[in-house]
Amino acid sequence: MWSILLNSNTQWVLLSTAILGIAAGTIGSLAYWKRQSLMSDALAHAALPGVIIAFLLFKVKHLFVLITGAAISAVIGAFFIQGIRSSTRIKEDTAMGMILSIFYGFGIMLLTIANRTSGNQSGLNNFILGQSASMVQSDVWTMSILAILVVSIVVIGFKEWKIYLFDRQFASGLGLPLKGMDVVYTILLVTTIVVGIQAVGVILIAALLIIPAVSARYWTHSFQAMVIISALFGGASGTIGTLISAIGNGWPTGPFIVVLAASFFIISLIFGKEKGILVQYWQMKRHKKQEIIQSIPTSVLKKEVQ
């Protein structure tokens, strides 16, 4: 086990999945308040055909090429969802469900074709459930730089993002370019998804965006703290999940990352200081006790009067 940990490649991969988790936790908090948690899942699934098409076209497995394909495909998926919603009677959730499954199905079909036709393609399967062990130095760099860029953009414009999410109408009155921010937000979301798909996989990357954000809700009443806590949960899930996968030698990374994120969620749900189950139960009990104590003298008094 220690030999794996001391391996410099493993250390780099661990660092990059930590940064990825931080980026996912950060963007996930924005998506949560934009009510677009499910959208990230649809975009992630929609990214698969792009990965395979990019591979079939350029015959290389360079991460940057593949995730560019993934990004284009995810954005096309987003346009379809938008188009279906605005021009038909179909509601957004249904549109997302349709695009998610159609794009994913199409991607698996292409993957089968790619596996049959070209030789050196074994790595492509890793984009489904994630395989951080397959990452090479250049992948680590691509992933880390993009993820750091995503986090920086959120941090720099933090107060603008806050009002953008809380009150669009007022933000518009202040002169914030809402349309531009919509575009930037979508770029950030898509970037986070596509840089994560090699490590976490298209099926489960959305979980890394959604779960840390909802877990963070149980610990704070401040948006800033929520983003930070969510980033920490995301980073920890990414790192520990990758570690387990590395020790297991060839185990897929995505499922472990998600199971870890889910454990953090359950801990938050039970022990969270803001509306966690235990705290609520305890507060309720204490409140009841006080009410009973306060009501005793008055009821005694009433009886005496009667």
The span from the CA of 13 to the CA of 282, in Å, is 42
Span of 56-64, 123-131, 172-180, 247-255 interacting with other proteins by CB under 8 A: 172-180
Q: How far is CA 28 from the centre of its chain?
A: 5
The span from the CA of 133 to the CA of 250, in Å, is 7
- Give the one residue of 167, 248, 270, 284 binding other proteins; rule: CB under 8 A: 167
Q: Counting contacts by CB under 8 A, is residue 141 touching other proteins?
A: no
Is the distance from CB of 222 to CB of 101 less than 8 angstroms?
Answer: no
The span from the CA of 44 to the CA of 186, in Å, is 12
Phi-psi region of 275 (alpha: psi -120 to 50; beta: other; left: phi over 0): left
Q: How far is CA 111 from the centre of its chain?
A: 24
End-to-end, the C-alpha distance of the chain in Å comes to 79
If the CB atoms of residues 62 and 162 are measured against other proteins, the closer one turns out to be 162
Is the distance from CB of 222 to CB of 159 less than 8 angstroms?
Answer: no
For 123, other C-beta atoms within 10 Å of its C-beta total 14
- Give the one residue of 170, 271, 281, 282 binding other proteins; rule: CB under 8 A: 170
- The token pair at 32 is 């949560």
- Compose the 179-208 pattern: x for residues touching other proteins by CB under 8 A, - for all others: ------------------------------
- Compose the 217-256 pattern: x for residues touching other proteins by CB under 8 A, - for all others: x--xxxx-xx------------------------------
- Give the one residue of 38, 72, 108, 163 binding other proteins; rule: CB under 8 A: 163
Q: Counting contacts by CB under 8 A, is residue 174 touching other proteins?
A: yes
The span from the CA of 205 to the CA of 193, in Å, is 7
Q: Counting contacts by CB under 8 A, is residue 97 touching other proteins?
A: no
- Give the one residue of 166, 271, 281, 282 binding other proteins; rule: CB under 8 A: 166
| Amino acid residing at 169 | Q
- Compose the 19-48 pattern: x for residues touching other proteins by CB under 8 A, - for all others: --------------x---------------
Q: Counting contacts by CB under 8 A, is residue 175 touching other proteins?
A: yes
Q: Counting contacts by CB under 8 A, is residue 159 touching other proteins?
A: yes
Q: How many residues bind other proteins (CB under 8 A)?
A: 23
| Interface ranges with other proteins (CB under 8 A) | 33, 156-157, 159-160, 162-163, 165-167, 169-170, 172-175, 217, 220-223, 225-226
